[in-house]
Amino acid sequence: MSVAAQEPATDSLLRVTDLTVRSARVERPLLDGVSFTLDRGRTLGVVGPSGAGKSTLALAIARLLPRGLSVDGASTIHLGGDALHELDANAMRAIRGRRIGYVFQEPALALDPAMSIGRQVAESAQVHGVPEGEAATRALEWLERVGFPDARRAARSFPHELSGGMRQRALIASAMILEPELLIADEPTTALDPTIQDQVLDLLARLRQESRTTLLFISHDLATVAERCERVIAIERGRIVDDRSATEAVAAYRARRAIPSFEIPTPEPGTPLLRVRDLEVEYTMRGLFPWGAAATRTHTAVAQLDLQIARGEVVALVGESGCGKTSSANAILRLVEPRGGSVLLDGLEMGRLKREPLRRLRRRIQLVPQDAGASLTPHLTAEACVAEGLEVHGLAEGATARRKARELLAELGLPERVARAVPRELSSGERQRVAIARALAPDPDLLICDEPLASIDETSRAQVLTVLSTRRARRGLALLLISHDLDAVRRLASRVLVMYLGRVIEHSVGDAALVAPRMPYTQALVAAIPTGDPSARLRRSLLRGELPILSPPSAGCSFQPRCTHPLKDERCSAERPMLLPVGPAQPTHHVACWHALQAP
């Protein structure tokens, strides 16, 4: 979607002046004097940290604010020629759905679980007077347009039977069915994986162009917004702090977000700290009846994983949900029993250890889980959580342990009051750092981090990275970094592994796998992760369809059903490709694809 192809603005579609929204419970107004204009046919992005008031803004425009929130009398909202703030309930109802379409964040929650998809999509038309039969036909049309291969079948399905991406497409269909003038998308893809996110946003862009809809796009991620919108508004604490074109906004963002570079050490010779060989993790799901063939279904979460980390090294594991990275971490830590393979820590086979020696060994290999907030025991203070790391391994007790815990929390930039607070009282960024502190307390040799920088704002990010790299320099702390954040991965990791459906499909020493990916999936993944620069995007659509919910095909390449590589052939479905070096000149970059190898 290139910016130059836009029509010249004819008039302003949405004009918001002095919008102030107050809540009975909180002193500070949720929105304070917000004013902006959105011209017909344009795209406007709204960014800001969580709690800034972005959703409140969107809801206020559509007059969908929850009870207890009120709009000031001085605020005005104009849609075309109409003053929305003055309309009565019935008139507003007629506008919602017909002139304003709304796409919500969590499709799982925004769809009625007890009603079929088709009926919900048709409902959007029916409530505005379209007769039932015609509404049903239109619903089918739109389900097709948003990408459902079998629209009839989809119409009969219920929300819980669809994946996240498909649910969101259905929501989009229900919002667009009457081709509204204004489409408000509130974090429409935040809950989805990068490649799916990309697909859904592409869909949105296409539909938008076909129907000439004006778009108000809300997200916490500036990069995503900047790639899809012409103009960006930043909101913080209820006020607009910035209003400029997307390109300008991205430049400023890049400057702020710069990650200090750390030197990447060469791996130490000798026994690697962690050596994983041929790891296999299977989950068995019980069928309905405890007997017979339907009794158990096994799902292979991880297969043939080989991995090696030396002291002080940072290895990155990249992939989307379902690729097996979390299962790998759990298996390495022995939180789940792998079905096969071996995990050696300093030459010691973890699988052979009994319960107590294994527990003691945990001191050396720690985890920072993905949802750090949920990983903190709700009734323990931050101090107690971190101190526990010391107590259970006999490194300190009582008052000493608490003192050391406080020191560690301070090192990560957390103020005094955090130590005595319970998780409920902390922000998600603070909770993340508490979890990191807890993991660092027993002074481990290896730290497995699952998306450690996700919820942390920029200033704290630098602090966390400093702490980690200091430990690395002084104590040889090694990191297994699981992350989507390609910037961080490129700067920190000495080795990158890309996983898809339980297998490593590409890996490289250094960041070759991300800078010059050879495997179609990696290429799509890298392309899908927003960098903020629309023209730099690789606009090749190299995949289609969604992640399969069940296990992948047992023969051939697991990516093959979705792959659209021009050279795809029968070999792809017959033989599983092995990890081979890309070419003789690149012995450290391996890829598992029959067609990705350089011609000799």
Partner 1 sequence: MGRSAAAGAPLTGRNPRVAIALLVLLVVVAIAAPWFAPSDPRAQPDLARIWEAPSATHLLGTDSAARDVLSRLLYGSRVTIGIATLAVLVSLTLGTLVGASAAVLRGVGDAVLMRITDAMLAFPRLLLVILVVAGTGDPGTFSLAILIGATGWMTTSRLVRQETRRLLATDHLRAARALGVPRRRLLTRHVLPGLAPTLAAAAVLSFAAAVPLETGLSFLGLGVRAPFPSWGNIIADADSRPLAHWWLVLFPTIAIALTVIAANVVAEGFARRAREDAASGGGA
Partner 2 sequence: MRAALLLRLGQAALVVLLVVATCFALIRLAPGDPFFSALDESTVTPEQRAEQRARFGYDRPVVEQFVRYATNVARGEFGWSHSRGEPVSLALAATIPKSLLLVGTAFLLAFSVGTAIGAWQGWNRESLLARATDGVGLVLVSIPDFVLAVLALMGPALAWRLFPVGGMRTEFGPTGPAGVPDLLHHLVLPALTLAVPIAAVAARLQRAAMLGVRDADFVRAARARGASETRIVTRHALRNALVPVLAYAGVQFSALIGGVVIIEQVFDWPGMGRLMLGAVQARDYPLVAGAVLVSSLATVVGTMVADIALLWADPRQRGRP
Complex with partner 1: residue 31 or 441, whichever CB lies closer: 441
Interface with partner 2 (CB under 8 A), residue from 128, 239, 393, 490: 128
Complex with partner 1: residue 180 or 452, whichever CB lies closer: 452
Least CB distance to partner 1 at residue 347 (A) = 20
Cα 364-590-481 angle, rounded to 5 deg: 30
- Phi then psi for residue 406, to 5 deg, are -60, -40
Q: Does 158 bind partner 2 (CB under 8 A)?
A: yes
- 214 in helix, strand or coil? strand
Instruction: Find the part of the chain contacting partner 1 (CB under 8 A) among 205-213, 261-269, 403-411, 432-440.
Output: 432-440
Q: Does 472 bind partner 1 (CB under 8 A)?
A: no
Q: What, of partner 1, partner 2, none, does residue 114 touch, CB below 5 to 8 Å by kind? A: partner 2
Q: Does 87 bind partner 2 (CB under 8 A)?
A: no
Complex with partner 2: residue 79 or 449, whichever CB lies closer: 79
Q: Does 94 bind partner 2 (CB under 8 A)?
A: yes
- 505 in helix, strand or coil? strand
Q: What is the per-residue binding string for partner 1 in 76-115, x denoting contact by CB under 8 A?
A: ----------------------------------------
Complex with partner 1: residue 135 or 376, whichever CB lies closer: 376
Q: What, of partner 1, partner 2, none, does residue 369 touch, CB below 5 to 8 Å by kind? A: partner 1
Binders in 223-242 for partner 1, by CB under 8 A: none
Least CB distance to partner 1 at residue 400 (A) = 18
487 Ramachandran zone, left/alpha/beta (phi>0; psi -120 to 50): alpha
Q: Does 24 bind partner 2 (CB under 8 A)?
A: no
Q: Does 379 bind partner 2 (CB under 8 A)?
A: no
Q: In the chain, count of helices (H) and strands (E)?
A: 21, 23
357 Ramachandran zone, left/alpha/beta (phi>0; psi -120 to 50): alpha
522 neighbors 506 (Cβ within 8 angstroms): yes
Residue whose pair of structure tokens reads 């500036």 in the numeric block: 222
Give the separation between CA 532 and CA 44, rounded to whole angstroms. Answer: 15
Complex with partner 1: residue 141 or 371, whichever CB lies closer: 371
Instruction: Find the part of the chain contacting partner 1 (CB under 8 A) among 76-84, 153-161, 216-224, 372-380.
Output: 372-380
Residues 6+ apart with CB under 8 A from 328: 279, 281, 302, 305, 307, 317, 499
Alpha helices in 441-543 (DSSP H): 458-475, 486-492, 512-515, 520-528
Q: What, of partner 1, partner 2, none, does residue 106 touch, CB below 5 to 8 Å by kind? A: partner 2
Q: Does 402 bind partner 1 (CB under 8 A)?
A: no
Q: Does 376 bind partner 1 (CB under 8 A)?
A: yes
Q: Which amino acid is at 200?
A: V
Residue whose pair of structure tokens reads 């697909």 in the numeric block: 199
**Binding residues with partner 1: total (CB under 8 A):** 32
Binders in 24-63 for partner 1, by CB under 8 A: 25
Q: Does 288 bind partner 2 (CB under 8 A)?
A: yes
Residues 6+ apart with CB under 8 A from 255: none
Interface with partner 1 (CB under 8 A), residue from 252, 264, 392, 579: 392
Interface with partner 2 (CB under 8 A), residue from 6, 64, 299, 364: 64
Using alpha carbons, select from 412, 419, 433 the residue that is nearest to residue 387.
Answer: 419
Q: Does 286 bind partner 1 (CB under 8 A)?
A: yes
Least CB distance to partner 1 at residue 389 (A) = 6
Interface with partner 1 (CB under 8 A), residue from 53, 319, 423, 502: 423
516 neighbors 337 (Cβ within 8 angstroms): no
Residue whose pair of structure tokens reads 């815990």 in the numeric block: 405
Interface with partner 2 (CB under 8 A), residue from 8, 261, 270, 289: 289
Which tokens go with 325? Answer: 């990275």
Sheet containing strand 495-500, edge to edge, reads 365-368, 446-450, 478-482, 314-318, 495-500, 503-509, 586-591, 580-583
Instruction: Find the part of the chain contacting partner 2 (CB under 8 A) among 158-166, 306-314, 433-441, 589-597.
Output: 158-166
Residue whose pair of structure tokens reads 């030197």 in the numeric block: 263
Instruction: Find the part of the chain contacting partner 1 (CB under 8 A) among 36-44, 80-88, 210-218, 434-442.
Output: 434-442
Give the separation between CA 104 and CA 438, rounded to whole angstroms. Answer: 35
Instruction: Find the part of the chain contacting partner 1 (CB under 8 A) among 123-131, 151-159, 187-195, 435-443.
Output: 435-443
Complex with partner 2: residue 289 or 599, whichever CB lies closer: 289
- 11 in helix, strand or coil? coil
Cα 160-166-167 angle, rounded to 5 deg: 50
Q: What is the per-residue binding string for partner 1 in 329-368, x denoting contact by CB under 8 A?
A: ----x-x-------------------xx--xx-xx--xx-
Give the separation between CA 92 and CA 160, rounded to whole angstroms. Answer: 31
Q: Does 104 bind partner 2 (CB under 8 A)?
A: yes
Using alpha carbons, select from 541, 582, 586, 580 the residue that is nearest to residue 562.
Answer: 541
Complex with partner 1: residue 38 or 376, whichever CB lies closer: 376
What separation in angstroms does the CA of 584 have from each of 110, 507, 512, 581, 600? 52, 15, 15, 7, 8
Give the separation between CA 4 and CA 490, rounded to whole angstroms. Answer: 32
Q: Which positions touch partner 2 (CB under 8 A)? A: 62, 64, 66-67, 93-98, 100, 102, 104, 106, 109-115, 123-124, 127-128, 158, 160-161, 171, 174-175, 288-289
Q: Which positions touch partner 1 (CB under 8 A)? A: 25, 286, 290, 333, 335, 355-356, 359-360, 362-363, 366-367, 369, 371, 374-380, 388-389, 392-393, 423-424, 435, 438-439, 442
